[in-house]
Structure 1
Amino acid sequence: MESVRTAFRDECERLGEVLRGVDEVDLDRPTDCRPWTVRELLAHVRSGAGRLVDMLAAPAPPRAEVDAAGYFGAAKFTPSVDAARVDSGRREARELDGPALVADFDRAWRAALDAVDAAPPGRVVRTRHGDAMALGEFLRTRVVEVGVHGLDLAAALDRRPWLTPAAAAVVADLLTDGRAVPPGLGWDRLTLIRKATGRVGLDDRERAVVDAAGFRWLSFGG
């Protein structure tokens, strides 16, 4: 739990630092998470980062039923769910100007971290999809959301990726189920995450090695 908490804090802090220097023109740039702009994708990340506040205020389910990998199951993100997620990000982006949106992201993740720190050991939460999850497992999904969408934001802003070491370790561990990357691939963690999340394509040899290794291919939603 402590390593996941550190990863969430570090990645959110880094994203906030980068975005404080972004202007309104940059916020309206397109991203590869179509049809979102940088502003709209940030609104989505802001909502996801702060989601634990309401979840921890709600009654706890009796036991966990889904882990972080199961949360990112493809069957969960149907076309209607995905469309609603996209519309929500676009709608929320219109509510605030750039500086206010960046400030609200900072407020949201810090409030979530405070709620996590106040939660008792073994706390279980229920997600907006109805899944009952251990708090630590859901927090892993938040690291994935902030970290991977941070790669999308970096690409849209023509910046070098700022993925922090702590977040990279959490995301890579989830993608590989804790196993080592086959040495024949020659991937570092950043390359693994880009490849496994579809940010960079695989060639035929890489695909064969990945399939044999049994890496987890996750479906992303909020």
Structure 2
Amino acid sequence: MTAVPLLCTTYGELAGVLGSLSAEESFQPTGCAGWGPVDLGFHLLGDARRALVALCTPAPGPADTDAVSYWTGWQPPGAGDDEELWSTRIAASTQGGIAAIAAQYAETSAAVVVAAGRVRTADTVRTQDRVLRVGDLLSTLVVEAAVHHLDLVRELDRPGPSAEPLAEVRRVLEGLLGGSLPDRWDDVTAALRGTGRERLTASDRLELGPGASRFPLFG
């Protein structure tokens, strides 16, 4: 699946889950400690808005970041690092609940897909003080949305991301590792363990060897 259809699939699946949630479900735990679906949905809305801005912000090349190296600076928050947690919860609480956030996400993410289809994947754009080719930017958006889709449905009876977005997450994780993840891991396990959402087992560490010390590969 090429970049824009993959993004369309990823965003569409996530918008569908967000739009299906009841007010009660919006306060269930997620894979992001301290956030319910309403908070995570607001975070995802912010990412979609950033994507829309990025796709409309051309930058002179060459790119200084690609789909893999983008993630090297992102690690799980440390103990006591709760500034984003609280600021997101406060902002999310002013948005009118999960239904309003889901509607804004569906609208904004659909606009991102349209904007992505109007530029070439080889064009360079700027986001977060980095310059990426559009194709690499779209990969980062797919990866973030797919991983957070897993976070969103952790305690909910809803489907997770489909095979194609999860395969892109695995591709990026293997790029960060510089080698293959264990074959016995399915792509969901790869996403969860590669981002620190599940701990490595003793057998994982044995199989990964020195590479185990690099986990989580991003968070």
**Aligned AA for 2:133?**
A
Is this contact kept in 1: 2:195–2:215, CA < 8 A?
no
Alpha-carbon shift at residue 73 of structure 1 (Å): 1.9
Size of the aligned set, in residue pairs, is: 213
Alpha-carbon shift at residue 22 of structure 1 (Å): 1.1
Alpha-carbon shift at residue 160 of structure 1 (Å): 5.5
- Aligned position for 1:21: 20
- Aligned position for 1:140: 139
Deviates more, 1:162-171 or 1:174-183: 174-183
- Aligned position for 2:193: 195
| In structure 1, distance between residues paired with 2:123 and 2:41 | 28
- Aligned position for 1:126: 126
| In structure 2, distance between residues paired with 1:110 and 1:19 | 14
Is this contact kept in 2: 1:168–1:190, CA < 8 A?
yes
Deviates more, 1:171-180 or 1:102-111: 171-180
Q: Deviations over 1:121-153 (max 9, x none)?
A: 52111122x111111111111111111111111
Q: Closer, same or farther in 2 for the Cα pair 1:73/1:162, shift >3 Å? A: same
Is this contact kept in 2: 1:4–1:170, CA < 8 A?
no
Q: Closer, same or farther in 2 for the Cα pair 1:76/1:193, shift >3 Å? A: closer
Q: Closer, same or farther in 2 for the Cα pair 1:29/1:133, shift >3 Å? A: same
Q: Deviations over 1:22-56 (max 9, x none)?
A: 11111122323122221001110121133221112
**Aligned AA for 2:9?**
D
Is this contact kept in 1: 2:124–2:132, CA < 8 A?
yes
Alpha-carbon shift at residue 87 of structure 1 (Å): 4.2
| In structure 2, distance between residues paired with 1:60 and 1:78 | 30
What aligned pairs does 1:74-113 form with structure 2 within 5 A after superposition?
A: 74=73, 83=82, 85-94=84-93, 95-113=95-113
Q: Deviations over 1:169-207 (max 9, x none)?
A: 111111112854444xx1111221121112221112202
Identity %: 27
Describe the SS at the equivalent of 2:34. coil
Is this contact kept in 2: 1:174–1:216, CA < 8 A?
no
Deviates more, 1:52-61 or 1:133-142: 52-61
- Aligned position for 1:172: 170
Unaligned runs of 5+ in 1: none
Describe the SS at the equivalent of 1:67. coil
| In structure 1, distance between residues paired with 2:193 and 2:76 | 20
Is this contact kept in 1: 2:15–2:102, CA < 8 A?
yes
RMSD (Å), alpha carbons = 2.6
Q: Closer, same or farther in 2 for the Cα pair 1:11/1:121, shift >3 Å? A: closer
- Aligned position for 2:149: 150
Unaligned runs of 5+ in 2: none
